[in-house]
């Protein structure tokens, strides 16, 4: 039989225990939410580039420059346009990312077939051939270039600080062979009559590529993101005289990465 004092003491002890348990659970949830918030989050920015060639007599020798990028304090004005064909990632999280690894995946033989079929339909003397990791592109006037595909598919960086600290971000190049093949596809279409260009343009040549981005937080948590590369052209320039044969001399492209919820459909080794 409990006395009134014993009953009050028991109830006080139970209330204290319940309060302590509730406090413990609250603190644990706060710590969990804080850990979830304190993580890196790498996000790509849209890029705009310009491609051009010195002579419209050939399909080769395309050069790419970045049209606009934020001007870094103290940087010369003349450096605001630089040779570039990539996409910049910024860390919008509140924690640093470490061990950043980026891998491009694509199906090079399928892209080459699309380009060759398009060139044949448009009667363009250019051919793309992929064999044993090498992409060879040949055309008229002795034009030839070779891309070592495997050396253009991966990139690594030891870390990326939050954008509040690092405003330059992490630049990851889009494989140059993809842009070269895209240029050839545009140039092939551009040889058609200007007044029929909208009807005749064939977009089956547009390269399909995906990017797998892996990184981890300082706490050791790992993250993986997958993106689909979207290339769009919004302006073309060229000459329609007899000598140039309606050749493309410049184009302006937008590069965008759209995040995917599934793993990429291509192999990193470019089937």
List the one residue out of 65, 32, 36, 35 whose CA is nearest residue 51. 65
If asked whether residues 147 and 194 sit together in one domain, one would say yes
Asked if residue 268 belongs to a domain, the reply is: no
If asked whether residues 121 and 187 sit together in one domain, one would say yes
Asked if residue 158 belongs to a domain, the reply is: yes
CA distance 234 to 200: 17
What is the count of structural domains for the chain? 2
If asked whether residues 175 and 247 sit together in one domain, one would say yes
If asked whether residues 22 and 122 sit together in one domain, one would say no
Cβ contact 254:48 at 8 Å: yes
- What pTM was estimated for this model as a whole? 0.74
If asked whether residues 57 and 119 sit together in one domain, one would say yes
- Alpha-helix runs per DSSP H in 90-195: 108-121, 176-190
Asked if residue 269 belongs to a domain, the reply is: no
If asked whether residues 147 and 177 sit together in one domain, one would say yes
If asked whether residues 98 and 212 sit together in one domain, one would say yes
If asked whether residues 203 and 218 sit together in one domain, one would say yes
Domain boundaries, position 2:
1-37
pLDDT in tens, the chain (271 residues): 557 666 666 667 677 777 777 776 776 766 665 555 678 999 999 988 888 887 655 666 788 888 755 444 454 544 455 678 889 999 999 889 999 999 999 999 999 998 888 888 877 788 899 999 999 998 877 788 899 999 999 999 999 999 999 989 999 999 999 999 988 888 877 765 544 545 445 566 677 899 999 999 988 899 999 999 998 888 888 765 545 455 778 888 889 999 998 665 555 545 4
If asked whether residues 18 and 101 sit together in one domain, one would say no
CA distance 223 to 41: 9
If asked whether residues 118 and 13 sit together in one domain, one would say no
Cβ contact 152:172 at 8 Å: no
Helix (H) or strand (E) holding 29, with range, is: helix 4-37
If asked whether residues 12 and 48 sit together in one domain, one would say no
């Amino acid at each position: 039989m409990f006395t009134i004092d014993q009953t009050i003491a028991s109830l006080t002890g139970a209330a204290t225990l319940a309060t302590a348990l509730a406090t413990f659970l609250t603190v644990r949830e706060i710590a969990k939410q804080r850990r979830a918030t304190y993580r890196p989050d790498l996000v790509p920015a849209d890029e705009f580039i310009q491609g051009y060639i010195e002579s419209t007599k050939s399909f080769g020798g395309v050069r790419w420059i970045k049209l606009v990028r934020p001007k870094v304090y103290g940087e010369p004005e003349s450096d605001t346009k630089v040779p570039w064909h990539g996409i910049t990632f910024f860390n919008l999280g509140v924690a640093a990312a470490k061990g950043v690894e980026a891998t491009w995946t694509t199906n090079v033989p399928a892209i080459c077939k699309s380009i060759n079929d398009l060139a044949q339909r448009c009667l363009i003397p250019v051919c793309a051939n992929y064999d044993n990791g090498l992409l060879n592109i040949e055309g008229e006037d002795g034009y030839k270039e070779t891309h070592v595909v495997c050396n253009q598919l991966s990139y690594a960086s030891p870390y990326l600080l939050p954008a509040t600290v690092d405003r330059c971000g992490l630049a990851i190049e889009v494989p140059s062979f993809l842009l070269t093949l895209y240029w050839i596809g545009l140039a092939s279409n551009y040889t058609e009559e200007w007044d029929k260009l909208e009807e005749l343009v064939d977009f089956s040549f547009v390269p399909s590529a995906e990017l797998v981005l892996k990184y981890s937080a300082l706490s050791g948590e790992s993250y993986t993101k997958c993106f689909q590369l979207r290339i769009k052209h919004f302006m073309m320039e060229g000459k329609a005289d007899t000598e140039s044969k309606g050749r493309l001399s410049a184009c302006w492209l937008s590069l965008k990465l759209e995040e995917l919820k599934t793993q990429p459909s291509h192999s990193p080794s470019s089937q």
